[in-house]
Amino acid sequence: MSEFYITVWNGPGRRACYDFFMRVGLFVTCLVDLMRPSIGFAALKLLEDAGCEVVVPAAQTCCGQPGWNSGDRRSARELAEKLIDEFEDCSYVVVPSGSCAGMIRAHFPEVFAGEPGMLARAERLGSRTYELTEFLAKVAHRPRVSASFDGTVTYHDSCSGLRELGVKGEPRKLLSRVAGLKLVEMEECETCCGFGGTFSIKYGDISSEIAERKCAHIAASGAQAVVLGDLGCMLNIEGRLRRRGDAKTRVLHVAEVLAGEL
């Protein structure tokens, strides 16, 4: 009989409990922590408004992506294990970044390939990890968007969010509920902005050239702001826009727009 309970718990039971309590762990990410704390608070507000109990593990740092993408598996593994330890007791992990969420969901299982115990933990956590807009649109019980924005924006699809997690309609759906906001699509909204993590400082000239093309598409769209969901793209695009002499076009994280905290 006890086996029956274990089966139910591991199957629908655990999921039902997670769904009921909605204890969401917010993984702020290292770049938000250092560069744009307001985005972390905007994400926190959106999750709380959606009725979630949000915990922010204090010892969180980095998901290990820099090491993983640089070929340093050991560094990546250490940080991945640390993150799993910190977030394992949450119903969901929500991340205001497609690339960090992608690291957890798509790549943690690769990091722990060949370690059955850790692999199972990584897969369990991965299956409960969401990019912020994806979570709000697909999982949260009552996502509330009460913000307003006066103007036209265009959305840049960050690579990892789009291609590793399949985030495409979610941010647009949520943005459509922002009062006064008009979304226009730019050419090649799915093309990389040229950031690529350490690529941006190893091959600065190529990276800047790719960013320049993105900026040209943003400018051609006529939008007053480009909205996106990843800090790397944000710094890259903003840095290039300002360098090419565009002081006006705003670069906004989707969390800031949705929370109305601009």
Partner 1 sequence: MHVQSMHFKPRATAALADETLQSNLQKFNSTGFTALRAKAVADFGPGLFEKLRGEGAAIRDRALANLDAWIERFESEATRRGATVLFAETREEACELLIDVCRRHGVKKAIKSKSMLSEEAGVNEALEAAGVTPVETDLGEYILQLAGEPPSHIIAPALHKNKGEVADLFAERHRAPRKTDIPLMTREAREVLRGHFLSADLGLSGGNFLIAESGSGLIVTNEGNGRMVTTLPRVHVCLTGIEKVIPTLEDFSTLLRLLTRSATGQAISNYVSLFTGPRGALERDGPEHMVFILVDAGRTGLVGSDMQEMLRCIRCGACMNHCPVYRAVGGHSYGWVYPGPMGSVLTPAYLGLENALDLPQAATLCGACSVACPVKIPLPELLRGLREKQVDRGLRPVKERLGIRVWSWFARRPRAYALAAAIGAPVLRLLGGTDGLIGTLPFGSEWTRGRFFPAPRSWKTFRALYATRRRSSGGT
Shortest spacing between CB 218 and partner 1, in angstroms: 14
**Which residue of 72, 85, 115, 185 would you call a contact of partner 1, by CB under 8 A?**
72
**Which residue of 164, 170, 186, 252 would you call a contact of partner 1, by CB under 8 A?**
164
Based on the shown chain and the rule CB under 8 A, indicate whether residue 87 belongs to the binding site for partner 1: no
Q: Please give the Cα distance from 45 to 56 (Å, whole number).
A: 12
Based on the shown chain and the rule CB under 8 A, indicate whether residue 66 belongs to the binding site for partner 1: yes
Q: Please give the Cα distance from 145 to 71 (Å, whole number).
A: 40
What is the enclosing helix (H) or strand (E) of 151? strand 148-155
- Helix, coil or strand: residue 152: strand
Q: Which stretch binds partner 1 (CB under 8 A): 11-19, 63-71, 114-122, 145-153?
A: 63-71
Instruction: Return the amino acid letter for 156.
Output: H
Maximal C-alpha separation, the chain: 70
Q: Which stretch binds partner 1 (CB under 8 A): 7-15, 141-149, 169-177, 185-193?
A: 185-193
CA distances, 196 to each of 163, 228, 243 (Å): 14, 15, 19
Based on the shown chain and the rule CB under 8 A, indicate whether residue 207 belongs to the binding site for partner 1: yes
Task: Please report, as residue ranges, which positions from 24 to 43 form the binding site for partner 1 (by CB under 8 A).
Answer: 28, 30, 32-38, 40-41
Based on the shown chain and the rule CB under 8 A, indicate whether residue 151 belongs to the binding site for partner 1: no
